[in-house]
Structure 1
Amino acid sequence: MSTRIINFFESSGLSWLAPFVKLAKGDNPGEQINTIFKSLGIPLVAFALFLFFWDLSASKVNTSLGKLPGPSQVIEQAQGLMAEHQAEKEKELAFYERQEKRNAAKLAKNPDATVKWRDYNGRATYLDQIWTSLYTVFTGFLLASFIAIPIGIICGLNQTVYSALDPLIQIFKPVSPLAWLPIVTMVVSAVYVSDDPMFAKSFVTSAITVTLCCLWPTLINTAVGVGSIDKDLINVSRVLRLNWFQKLTKVVLPSSIPMIFTGLRLSLGVGWMVLIAAEMLAQNPGLGKFVWDEFQNGSSNSLGRIMVAVLTIGFIGFILDRLMLTLQKRVSWDKSAILK
Structure 2
Amino acid sequence: MRQTGDPAPAPSQNRAADDVAPEAKSTSQSTAPSTAPLLGGKGRQIAGQLLAPFIGIVLFLAMWAVLAPQVDTSLGALPGPVEVAEQGVSLFDEWSAAKELESAFYADQEARNAAYIAAGEPGRVTDFEYSGPPTFVDQIITSLATVALGFVLATLVAVPIGLICGLSPLVNSAINPLVQIMKPVSPLAWLPIVTMVISALVTSADPILAKAFIISALVVMLCSLWPTLINTAVGTSSIDKDLLNVGRVLKLGWFAKLTRLVLPASLPYIFTGMRLSLGVGWMVLIAAEMLAQNPGLGKFVWDEFQNGSSQSLARIMFAVVVIGFIGFGLDRIMMWLEALVSRNRTI
TM-score over 0.5 for the pair? yes
Cα distance in 2, alignment partners of residues 102 and 224 from structure 1? 63
Give the root-mean-square deviation of aligned CA atoms. 1.3
- Structure 1 residue 124 corresponds to structure 2 residue 143: no
What is the TM-score when the length of structure 2 is the normalising length? 0.87
Instruction: Report Cα offsets for 1:102-144 as digits up to 9, x if no partner.
Output: 1111111116544111110000000000000000000000001
Q: Quote the residue 1:205 is aligned against.
A: 215
Paired residue for 1:88, among 98, 118, 131?
98
- Structure 1 residue 308 corresponds to structure 2 residue 318: yes
Paired residue for 1:43, among 49, 53, 56?
53
Structure 2: segments with no counterpart, 5+ residues: 1-37
Structure 1: segments with no counterpart, 5+ residues: 1-27, 336-340
Q: Quote the residue 1:278 is aligned against.
A: 288
Cα distance in 2, alignment partners of residues 293 and 315 from structure 1? 21
- Structure 1 residue 256 corresponds to structure 2 residue 266: yes
Q: Quote the residue 2:179 is aligned against.
A: 169
Q: Is the 8 A contact 2:230 2:273 kept in 1?
A: yes
Cα distance in 2, alignment partners of residues 112 and 153 from structure 1? 59
Cα distance in 1, alignment partners of residues 137 and 343 from structure 2? 38
- Structure 1 residue 139 corresponds to structure 2 residue 139: no
Change (3 A) 1:213 1:54: same
Instruction: Report Cα offsets for 1:156-181 as digits up to 9, x if no partner.
Output: 00001111111111110000000000
Cα distance in 2, alignment partners of residues 239 and 44 from structure 1? 56
Q: Is the 8 A contact 1:77 1:308 kept in 2?
A: yes
Instruction: Report Cα offsets for 1:270-320 as digits up to 9, x if no partner.
Output: 000000000000000000000000001000000000001000000000000
Q: Quote the residue 2:203 is aligned against.
A: 193
Q: Percent of aligned pairs with the same residue? A: 61
Paired residue for 1:242, among 252, 258, 267?
252
Instruction: Report Cα offsets for 1:19-72 as digits up to 9, x if no partner.
Output: xxxxxxxxx654443322111111111011110111111011000100001000
Q: Is the 8 A contact 1:254 1:333 kept in 2?
A: no
Cα distance in 2, alignment partners of residues 230 and 264 from structure 1? 22
Paired residue for 1:221, among 228, 231, 234?
231
Count of equivalent residues: 308
Q: Quote the residue 2:35 is aligned against.
A: none
What is the TM-score when the length of structure 1 is the normalising length? 0.88
- Structure 1 residue 155 corresponds to structure 2 residue 134: no
Give 1:239 shift. Answer: 1.7
Cα distance in 1, alignment partners of residues 108 and 255 from structure 2? 59
Cα distance in 2, alignment partners of residues 93 and 41 from structure 1? 44
Give 1:329 shift. Answer: 0.3
One-letter code aligned to 1:290: F
Q: Quote the residue 2:9 is aligned against.
A: none
- Structure 1 residue 104 corresponds to structure 2 residue 104: no
Change (3 A) 1:50 1:114: same
Q: Quote the residue 1:66 is aligned against.
A: 76
Give 1:333 shift. Answer: 4.7
Q: Is the 8 A contact 2:116 2:122 kept in 1?
A: no
One-letter code aligned to 1:62: D
Q: Is the 8 A contact 1:173 1:213 kept in 2?
A: yes
SS of structure 2 residue aligned to 1:59 = helix
Dislocated runs of 4+, deviation >6 Å: none
Alignment of 1:16-55 (within 5 A): 30-55=40-65
Cα distance in 2, alignment partners of residues 321 and 58 from structure 1? 30
One-letter code aligned to 1:282: A
Paired residue for 1:326, among 336, 339, 346?
336
Paired residue for 2:308, among 285, 298, 306?
298
Which one has a bigger Cα radius of gyration? 2
Q: Is the 8 A contact 2:165 2:171 kept in 1?
A: yes
Cα distance in 1, alignment partners of residues 59 and 242 from structure 2? 52
